[in-house]
Amino acid sequence: VTFDDYLTGPRDFAALCADHNVSCTVSSLGGFMMANRLLKSQAKEAQKLFAQLMLASALTVPIFCITMIFGMIPFFQPFLAYEIIPGLAVNGALLFVLSFPVQFYVGHQFHSKAYKTLKTGSLGMDFLVSTGTMAAYVYSTVGLVRGIVAGVPNMHDVEYFETSAVLITAVLLGKYLEVYAKGQTAAAIHKLSKLKAHSARLVKSGTTANLLPNTPTASSEKTFQAGQDTDEEEQVIDASLLHRRDAVRLVAGETVPADGVLLPGTRIGVDEAMMTGESALVSKNAGDKVFGGTMVVEGSALMQVTACGDDSTLGRIITTVQAAQASKPPIQELADRVAKYFVPVITGISLCTFVTWSVAYAVGAVPKGWYAEAGGPYLFAFFFALAVWVSACPCAFGLATPTAVLVATGVAAKHGILIRKGASLQYASNVNVVAFDKTGTLTKGSTEVTDFLYCATPSTPLTTSTAVDSLYDTFEPLHVPTHLTTDSRTTLTDLTEARYLLQLMLLAECRSSHPLAKGITAFCKAQLALLEGVAIVSKGSILPVEEDLLFDVVPGLGIHMHTVDTTTAKSSSDNTNTVNTFSPSTSVLVGSGKLLQSMNVAISPAAERTA
């Protein structure tokens, strides 16, 4: 079905199906849906490989101990050499039984893939693993049968059961680590997809039908001319049902459901940290663009949708990360070309090794003592050929490079860095200078308090200490960088007024979703925990609030809180019942200097210079 998304969309299709009593669901094959499917498939594959790895390890560890440890200890040698039947010793029987599930159950995935690649002619790592382990296993099995037929246990040949089991377990461990790394990357992409809104407030009205250009090629920087509409109908719908040109209401505390532009007469404050990394609130006015996945912190507005779903900025970010993971850097393309010829070359080298040692035996260059215990000179030569074969698995080619690209792009996306192509990672090794644009600062997308300057005046002394009184007379603000420290003149834990101020700030900011409020709230809780000497479990454990509070948000400036009843806050660190009483007339201002000036609050020059 082909349609013009400027005229119709999935909501109309769903309504049409409903009119004909046909149930339907809207799903996407784009970045959001693929992120969820990828996470589930990677988790399922990792769980399967982990179970196989545990089974292989549980069997391989005893095999390794019997071959490499117990067989060298005289105490265990009589037991391992005991013949169950003539020609079959305990060690041979144990190694055969333990290695059989590893070779044919756990290793089945390698054997089946090797068979498929053999049919197509594109031999790879699985073919080497399958043939190498099978050769070692068959050789040891033949040695075991020879011992039974001869009636004399063959203690040497059966040791190659250990080679087969250890190799399969080691390669399986590498595959599990690869899948685990992919799973971490899939989780990072899934985390990005979770930023999108699940619902939207669709506004149905007649005034917003023609605010966007009629064609996709027309300019989107159009001047909006919306009239007044007194007959608006608001409906909460699934965000996936949004169309271009829809009018959507944005409310503080909710996620923007799609990309769009604000309609006239509206203004909001948006947290765009997930896009820009900057924690500062961004003011949006009529005609400004807003992006899906960002958070509305202040105000309410009407927005007209310009892009939704996988076409939105967030959707394109996810698609970009997925495309980068699928792309191949030049070094991986080289590895792919080399791998095409790798197996035939290794096969040739292995055959040359066998021929070389056979010729060396033929000309008498190999002492008899070297091959006496190996069952003959040609089996001795076969061991060297087998060693070349099984040790040549191109794990670096098959695992290292793609895993590096997957992990790097996933970790980068987690930290807000988008890598468009895998080649960028390879070229980055040649970078000597990195220039950061924007504000000149690097942020982690959240705020935290770095300094706390408490400014007091002689009219409100904090203590009777002469040194402290002198401190306020000369107005030297007390700096407390991120944690409480002991000043040379006074101890902050003795300043009850400082605790009173922190409690007021916590009351004013704990209800706000503003990015700066979150940092201030966390700081106040941490400082009060140290002041009171108790761990903070919840807001109520610091300051039980009984009265109603009045909050006035001044857009772009800050917040004004009024307390209307008397409140008593008791310290829980001791039994002294120390109290701070909030006056009914207490007024708290938290914001910029302009807010204080607008409320006729004087700021001393010394405080301004220090701040």
pLDDT of residue 60: 92
Domain hosting residue 292, numbered range: 197-208+234-310
Please classify residue 45 by burial: count the beta carbons closer than 10 Å to its beta carbon, then call 0-12 exposed, 13-18 middle and 19+ buried.
middle
Phi/psi at 376 (nearest 5 deg)? Answer: 130, 160
- Answer yes or no: do 72 and 138 share one domain: yes
pLDDT of residue 469: 34
β-strand pairing of 567-570 with 579-582? antiparallel
Task: Please report whether residue 529 resides in a domain.
Answer: yes
CA distance 106 to 166: 12
Please classify residue 483 by burial: count the beta carbons closer than 10 Å to its beta carbon, then call 0-12 exposed, 13-18 middle and 19+ buried.
exposed
CA distance 603 to 457: 12
Tell me 157's DSSP state.
G
Q: How far is CA 181 from CA 186, 188, 320, 410, 441, in A?
A: 9, 11, 19, 9, 31
Strands, E assignment, 135-246: 199-204, 233-238
437 is catalytic: yes
DSSP string, 421-469: -THHHHHHTT-------TTS----SS------EE---TTS-S-S-HHHH
Phi/psi at 155 (nearest 5 deg)? Answer: -75, -20
Residues 6+ apart with CB under 8 A from 228: 207
First to last CA, the chain: 62
Task: Please report whether residue 317 resides in a domain.
Answer: no
pLDDT of residue 57: 93
Neighbouring-strand partners of residue 588: 561
CB-CB contact of 503 with 543 (8 Å) = yes
CB-CB contact of 18 with 300 (8 Å) = no
- Answer yes or no: do 370 and 398 share one domain: yes
- The amino acid that residue 521 corresponds to is T
Which of the listed residues 275, 310, 345 is the one where a domain comes to its end? Answer: 310
Pull the structure tokens for residue 190. 């899934």
- Answer yes or no: do 459 and 567 share one domain: yes
Task: Please report whether residue 5 resides in a domain.
Answer: no
CA distance 197 to 26: 15
As for how many domains the chain has, the answer is 3
- Answer yes or no: do 342 and 482 share one domain: no
Which stretch of DSSP H or E encloses residue 242?
A: none
CB-CB contact of 590 with 508 (8 Å) = yes
Q: How far is CA 107 from CA 47, 133, 134, 471, in A?
A: 17, 9, 10, 77
- The amino acid that residue 84 corresponds to is I
| Its pTM surpasses 0.75 | no
CA distance 91 to 154: 10
Within 10 Å of residue 367's Cβ, how many Cβ atoms? 9
- Answer yes or no: do 576 and 491 share one domain: yes
Which stretch of DSSP H or E encloses residue 117?
A: helix 108-120
Return the closest-CA partner of residue 32 out of 199, 166, 207, 198. Answer: 198
CB-CB contact of 562 with 586 (8 Å) = yes
CA distance 311 to 319: 10
- Answer yes or no: do 296 and 375 share one domain: no
- Answer yes or no: do 278 and 351 share one domain: no
- Answer yes or no: do 238 and 346 share one domain: no
Neighbouring-strand partners of residue 204: 233
Catalytic annotation, pick one of 157, 437, 469, 473 = 437
- Answer yes or no: do 377 and 303 share one domain: no
CB-CB contact of 247 with 303 (8 Å) = yes
CA 583 to chain centre: 47
Task: Please report whether residue 431 resides in a domain.
Answer: no
- Answer yes or no: do 204 and 166 share one domain: no
Task: Please report whether residue 69 resides in a domain.
Answer: yes
In terms of phi and psi (left: phi > 0; alpha: psi -120 to 50; beta: otherwise), the region of 396 is alpha
Report the chain (611 residues): mean pLDDT per 10 consecutive residues.
72 80 70 68 85 93 88 82 84 90 92 86 78 85 82 74 87 80 72 80 63 41 39 78 87 88 84 74 86 85 86 81 69 66 83 91 83 74 80 60 70 70 76 72 68 58 35 38 40 58 80 78 81 46 51 76 53 42 63 79 70 62
CA distance 124 to 396: 12
pLDDT of residue 538: 40
Task: Please report whether residue 22 resides in a domain.
Answer: no
Within 10 Å of residue 195's Cβ, how many Cβ atoms? 16
CA distance 288 to 264: 10
DSSP string, 533-560: TS---SHHHH----S-EEEEEETTTEEE
Q: What is the CA radius of gyration of the chain?
A: 36
Task: Please report whether residue 606 resides in a domain.
Answer: yes
CA dihedral angle for residue 185, residue 187, residue 191, residue 194, rounded to 10 degrees: 130
- Answer yes or no: do 460 and 543 share one domain: yes
- Answer yes or no: do 80 and 54 share one domain: yes
Task: Please report whether residue 7 resides in a domain.
Answer: no
Contacts by 123-126 with C-beta closer than 8 Å and gap 24+? 123/343, 123/344, 124/339, 124/342, 124/343, 124/394, 124/398, 125/171, 125/339, 125/393, 125/394, 125/395, 125/397, 125/398
Which of the listed residues 371, 403, 435 is the one where a domain comes to its end? Answer: 403
Which of the listed residues 387, 403, 419 is the one where a domain comes to its end? Answer: 403
Q: What is the CATH number of the domain that holds 289?
A: 2.70.150.10
